[in-house]
Every structure is written in C-alpha cells, then in structure tokens.
C-alpha cells in the first residue's frame, strides 16, 4: 500500500479532527465537535453501525424507549443530516503521525488532521497468522488501492460484509483466479473465475511475500496476494505503535491513547459493548480534543 502524492492533501487542507467510524461513539463526538465549530473529517458509511442495525431491541439507552437498532440508526441519520455533518465513505487503512499532526489514508486519498479519534468498533486484534507480517507484501485491506497489482494473478479474498461485494467483483475482473471466503450467509457472488472456499482462512504463508493461504482444514492454496475486506482494520495495524490491551485500545478516563492527539472511544476501547458507553466516551473524547486543540493553538 503506497501513500499517494501530496496533491490531495493540499486541496483538502488540514482538518481539526479526523473521526474514524460512524457508530454511536463517532456520532456523539461529531455532534459535540460540530457545536464547537471544529473542522471535521468523518470517515464512515451512511449505513452507520452494523451492530446497532442488527440489534433487535434496545431497552437501556436513556432517552430512546424500547427501540430497534434499525429505528435508532434512522434517528441517527436524521440527526447527522440536521446537524450538517457529512460522512466520507472511504475506508481508512493507514494512519501515521504524532503531536505535530496526522496523515490518514482513506481509499486512495491522503488527508491531514491535527487530531484523530478512533471509533472503529470492536475489531479482532491482529487478524490471522501471517496477516500483519505480510501486510504490504501481498496482504492488502483495500481493493481499489492495490487491486491493479494482481492483474492476471491468483488471489484470495476474505469478504466480511455484503457491502464489500463490489470490491470482490472489481478484483475478479483483474485477477486470473479468486479464492473467496465470505463470513456471512447470503453471498450473491457468482463469477466463473471465483472459487468459493468452504473453510475459512487460518494463515497467510510466505517468507518476504505472500506465497499461499492455509485453510482451517489445513489445505493450502497458492496465491500472490490476499485481500481482507473487513469493516475496520485492527487499530494497531492502522496506527503502528498504538498501545493495546488485548484486542482493545488502551485509553485513560479522558479517552487518550499513547499517541498525543490520538483518542479512542466506543467498543474499540473495551467492554461493555453498549451504545450508552460508546456515546459517553465519544462525548468525553470530543471535549478532550477541544481542550487539546485549544492548548496547541496557544
């Protein structure tokens, strides 16, 4: 995965904050930061949180009586619209930076922000064996970024959500052969050069570059590249050096991570995985970001 030229950075300017994730934590932070007139870059899809969407009944969120997740997401969307907030539907696959500012790679574009709020939901800590080690050496999280590298080659693809199926189709147009594993029941992909894997991948094999994938039944498939299409990239992969506690981002009561200017809120900081807790932390993080920016601008 290569960072693009700096052209795009010049165009969009520097944001006060980049929020990664459009679940309850990201929304809560965005609402507060908007009131305080911060220049916000908010990554996420208008589908918002998939976990909220699938909640049949929510009975313990103060202010919203016995509501379905679908209804709550609809209220959230309306609130986003009314507040004049805008979602940037790009997948963030890399962040780098420090107290002087952050660079964020969203699909093929680079953005700059003074602070970052990670509100990426609960994400497996580090993927499967070999995934992190071979990232950028055959392992990719972004079809539109890296697909062209595999023209006429064999690849494996993990598809973690129906909404990534167009990316699978895009890859199938480029690659000679695609081994596909989907982690949800009703896949609609049916293409001649796509072979559905019955078993999930267990490991990525290869020394300095990807050579094969190993499935849970111990069979191997020779491939040149592997794409993991998941809603979120593991936080410590996203931002190298981020301190974790197991699969959660380590934060203090102010939602500060070990990177100055980088904050985290919601499920990614730990249990309970609850809307109320995410909304609370999004609010705390936003206030801390406001204070951080004020101190920086002094």
Nearer to a copy of itself, 131 or 281 (CB): 281
Q: How far apart are CA 207 and CA 285, in angstroms?
A: 41
Short-list 183, 210, 212, 186, CA closest to 197: 183
Contact between 207 and a copy of itself by CB under 8 A: the answer reads: no
Contact between 283 and a copy of itself by CB under 8 A: the answer reads: yes
Least Cβ distance, residue 160 to a copy of itself (angstroms): 25
Residue 264 CA: distances (Å) to CA of 27, 29, 167, 209, 233: 13, 10, 28, 32, 14
Preceding amide of 295 cis, omega within 30: no
Size of the site for a copy of itself (CB under 8 A): 39
**Interactions with a copy of itself, residue window 29-68 (CB under 8 A):** 31-32, 34-35, 59-66
Residue 65 CA: distances (Å) to CA of 20, 54, 61, 127, 132: 28, 17, 7, 37, 42
Contact between 246 and a copy of itself by CB under 8 A: the answer reads: no
Nearer to a copy of itself, 92 or 251 (CB): 251
Q: Is 264 left (phi over 0), alpha (psi -120 to 50) or beta?
A: beta
Nearer to a copy of itself, 21 or 206 (CB): 21
User: Per CB under 8 A, which region of 24-32, 37-45, 159-167, 202-210 contacts a copy of itself?
Assistant: 24-32
User: Per CB under 8 A, which region of 108-116, 161-169, 231-239, 280-288 contacts a copy of itself?
Assistant: 280-288
Least Cβ distance, residue 62 to a copy of itself (angstroms): 5
Least Cβ distance, residue 282 to a copy of itself (angstroms): 7
Least Cβ distance, residue 65 to a copy of itself (angstroms): 5
Contact between 123 and a copy of itself by CB under 8 A: the answer reads: no
Grouping H, G, I as helix, E, B as strand and the rest as coil, residue 18 is strand
Tell me the β-bridge partners of 262.
Answer: 116
Q: To which residue do tokens 């899809």 refer?
A: 45
Answer for the pair 278, 267: CB distance below 8 angstroms, yes or no. yes
Answer for the pair 148, 1: CB distance below 8 angstroms, yes or no. no
Interacting residues with a copy of itself (CB under 8 A): 24, 27-28, 31-32, 34-35, 59-66, 72, 75-76, 78-79, 82-83, 251-253, 270-272, 274, 276-284, 287
């Amino acid at each position: 995965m290569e960072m693009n030229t700096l052209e795009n950075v010049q165009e969009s300017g520097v944001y006060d904050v980049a929020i990664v994730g459009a679940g309850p934590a990201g929304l809560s932070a965005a609402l507060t930061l908007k009131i305080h007139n911060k220049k916000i870059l908010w990554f996420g899809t208008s589908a918002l949180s998939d976990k909220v969407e699938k909640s049949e009944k929510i009975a313990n969120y103060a202010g919203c009586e016995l509501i379905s997740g679908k209804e709550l997401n609809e209220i959230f969307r309306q609130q986003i619209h009314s507040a004049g907030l805008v979602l940037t539907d790009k997948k963030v696959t890399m962040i780098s930076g420090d107290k002087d500012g952050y660079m964020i790679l969203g699909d093929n574009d680079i953005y700059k922000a003074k602070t970052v709020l990670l509100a990426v939901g609960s994400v497996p800590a580090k993927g499967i064996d070999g995934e992190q080690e071979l990232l950028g050496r055959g392992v990719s999280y972004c079809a539109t970024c890296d697909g062209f590298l595999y023209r006429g080659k064999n690849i494996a693809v993990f598809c973690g959500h129906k909404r990534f199926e167009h990316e699978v189709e895009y890859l199938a147009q480029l690659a000679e052969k695609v081994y596909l594993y989907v982690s949800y029941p009703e896949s609609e992909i049916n293409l001649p050069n796509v072979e559905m894997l019955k078993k999930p991948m267990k490991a990525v094999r290869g020394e300095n570059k990807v050579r094969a994938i190993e499935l849970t039944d111990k069979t191997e498939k020779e491939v040149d590249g592997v794409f993991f299409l998941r809603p979120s990239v593991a936080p410590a992969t996203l931002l190298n050096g981020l301190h974790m506690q197991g699969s959660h981002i380590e934060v203090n009561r102010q939602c500060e991570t070990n990177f100055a200017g980088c904050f985290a809120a919601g499920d990614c900081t730990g249990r309970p995985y609850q809307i109320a807790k995410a909304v609370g932390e999004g609010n705390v993080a936003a206030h801390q970001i406001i204070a951080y920016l004020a101190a920086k601008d002094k």
